[in-house]
Amino acid sequence: MKVRFIYIAIGVVVCGTLGGFLGAAQEAGAASWVITALTAAVFASLMSVSIGTRIFRRRTERRELTARPDSLERHLAVEAQSKTFLDMVLLTVITGCLFIIFPTQTNPAWVLIGLAVVLIVDFWVRHAVIRKAATRATA
């Protein structure tokens, strides 16, 4: 397991725990400064995990030379990103139309979270397919 995934897992656990405390504080009617402090702690945790993950990724890319413009990994990522972008535009338009047609049928937050998950999975599936095709072509 790569080191950055361990940090991401720790960050998710910390953010989930703080989010649980935040929800419990709101339900219990805690003082406003407690709720504000917990909200700031969740935000700070998310930012530190995202910045730390980016730093680890950049360091690994420099060490393994995968961020160079002529590297195969960069080419695969850009191609998968460009194809996923077209899917994102189409799915966002469809989701917007569904919200217009059925405004009260679904919770928009869950639909947007689902849309984000679908797009992330779409990217990684496309990346795997493109990588497999590239390895077959070079073999």
Q: Which of these, 74, 86, 90, lies nearest to 127 by C-alpha position?
A: 74
Q: Give the DSSP H or E segment for 133.
A: helix 108-138
Rounded to 5°, angle at Cα 123 from 119 and 129? 140
pLDDT of 136 reads 83
Give dist(CA 38, CA 15) in Å, integer. 10
pTM, whole model, 2 decimals? 0.58
pLDDT of 4 reads 62
Boundaries of every domain in the chain? 1-64, 68-139
Q: What is the pLDDT of residues 29-81, one digit of tens each?
A: 877 777 788 778 888 887 887 787 778 777 777 777 666 777 777 788 888 88
Q: What is the pLDDT of residues 84-135, one digit of tens each?
A: 999 999 999 988 888 888 877 777 777 888 888 898 899 889 989 998 988 8
